[in-house]
Amino acid sequence: MSYSIGILVGSLRKDSFSKKIALAISKKLPEDFEGKLIDISRLALFNQDLEAEPPQEWLDFREEVKSSDGVLFVTPEYNRSIPAVLKNALDVASRPYGQGAWQGKPGAIASSSPGKIGGFGASQHLRQAAVCVGLEVMGSPEFYLGGVHEILDGNGDVSGAY
């Protein structure tokens, strides 16, 4: 049996550290796990007025989340919290109320930053919101990667020095 892990990256920057870390993690998954990046960059901002006729990208995104056996969030820290694009993704897939795509879905969080505390604030804010929408977020192991800019080589791979 093979397991599909949806990977949501909280940074939209083309060469983001979070995306590079997400790809490095996906390469290290066991053979029976497949990591699949789920694009959140084109999601319209959540607006409850749109729920009667949700945009197609919301419906497609919800299906991608539902079809994943679990999810991994890889996020940078912006001002001690998560990027707005990641919070928007949580909100979009949490609807319709009581039937959200996150309900009972296993989840994990990896955070990083150039600073020494590795995105701890972002991870904690994300955990708080994720649990609220029904994700079953792993309590451990915890993943806070400080000094992210120092451990990636020119190809975006984790250097052997780490």
- Name, in order, each residue with C-beta under 8 angstroms of 31's C-beta and a sequence gap of 6 or more: none
- Name, in order, each residue with C-beta under 8 angstroms of 48's C-beta and a sequence gap of 6 or more: none
**What is the phi-psi region of residue 78: left when phi exceeds 0, alpha when psi lies from -120 to 50, beta otherwise?**
beta
Share of the chain above pLDDT 70, in %: 98
Cα dihedral across residues 158, 31, 39, 77: positive or negative = negative
pLDDT, tens digit, 9 for 90 and up, residues 41-99:
999 999 999 999 999 999 999 999 999 999 999 999 999 999 999 999 999 999 998 89
> Beta strands of 38-135 (E only): which ranges?
70-76, 106-113
Q: Residue 12's pLDDT band (boundaries 50, 70, 90)? A: very high
